[in-house]
Structure formats: structure tokens, C-alpha cells
Structure 1
């Protein structure tokens, strides 16, 4: 008597493949179906913070506006984000209490640190 295992094996394989499609392990976006959110260039894993406190970033005034200095100033100020303002650059004027703004001079040195 010969047992036919091929259909059962194929059915088991199909079921496993269907279940694997529901898995979120290793999928970008956590398997939620949402596209993965790109990480901003130079994004940090440092605490995100909240409302900006200008006093925490004053140490950066006079220093070169490098990515590390900008990020350290953001973290010390407790800001959620930081922007660098260069001479002659067009900027938005809306106030954002979670944002640190660092003004640079033409040599790339930070001349002012303020929230907003």
C-alpha cells in the first residue's frame, strides 16, 4: 500500500507561507503595513526632549556649527529638533517651542542660540 504524502506536504507548506506573510519580524515599519519612516540625516538616538530651554544651548555660542555641536546643543536645551540658520538663508517665521535655532556667521561659527 502506497501513502500519498505529497498533497499533505504541499498544503502544509502553503499554510506556513501564508502565516509567514503575517509575521512582523524583520519587516520595516514593524509589519503594520505602513511604509517605514526614514530616519533624518544625522538623526541622533539621544533623548528627544520637548520644550526648548535656551540656557542649555548657550555654551555652543562661539563654537563651530558642526553636526556634533548642533546635536549636543539640542540635547542640552531639551529641544525636540534643531535648525541651523546661515547668513542670507530664508527661514520660516512660525514659533515652535520644541525647536532650537542656531544662527551661524559666514565663518560657520554659532553666534546665537534661541528657541522657536
Structure 2
């Protein structure tokens, strides 16, 4: 009787282990793809918003730069503003000088 059940047990064990195994590369790609697709977020492109450098910061300029950079969110940062160390690849930053002119555009 044991000889008849051994192959069935072996097949079930192999199927169970095969279902649990995956390559880390494919699972990482799938996780990143599903996260980006679910949230609708994409990486921002700061180079596309470089036209803002030298211009006075305004809500209109901020929205134009955000749209051009394909960023989910955007913010204006003054020279003395406190910021968190949180990095967000879908956020555009317009860094201004004391006069309120944009001196640098970056994502984060």
C-alpha cells in the first residue's frame, strides 16, 4: 500500500514546492509594475521642467512644471524651508532663492 501512495505524495510535494518558488527578479518586477499601475504614479522627469529655472515661482508655473515633468505632485521649496528626508520619485521640487526665483528643479 505504501508503494502505491508514495508517488502520489511525491507529486503533491513537488507541486506544492513549485507553486511556492519564483525568481526574485520576476517577483520584484511584478511588484513594482503592480504598484505603479495601481497607484498611477510614475517617476518624474526633472529635465522636462528645466524651463522654470530663472522664473519667479507661482502656482501657475508650479502646475506647468508638474505637468511637463509628468510628476504626481509638486512643491516650491524656499532657501530656509524645512523639508523631510522622504524621497518620492513622483514629486517635483522647485527650489527657489531669497527673491523667489527658481534656481533648481529636481525630483524627490
TM over 0.5: yes
Higher relative contact order (CA 8 A, sep 6+): 2
Taking only aligned residues, the RMSD between alpha carbons, in angstroms, comes to: 1.4
Q: Structure 1 regions of 5+ residues with no counterpart?
A: 1-47
In 2: Cα distance, 1:78 partner to 1:49 partner: 9
CA-to-partner distance for each residue in 1:19-60, whole Å, 9 max, x for gaps? xxxxxxxxxxxxxxxxxxxxxxxxxxxxx8631001111010
Q: Secondary structure at the match of 1:76?
A: helix
Partner of 1:26: none
Greater helix content: 2
TM-score, reference length from structure 1? 0.57
In 2: Cα distance, 1:56 partner to 1:76 partner: 6
In 1: Cα distance, 2:47 partner to 2:65 partner: 10
Q: Structure 2 regions of 5+ residues with no counterpart?
A: 1-39
Q: Secondary structure at the match of 1:83?
A: strand
What is the aligned length?
Answer: 69
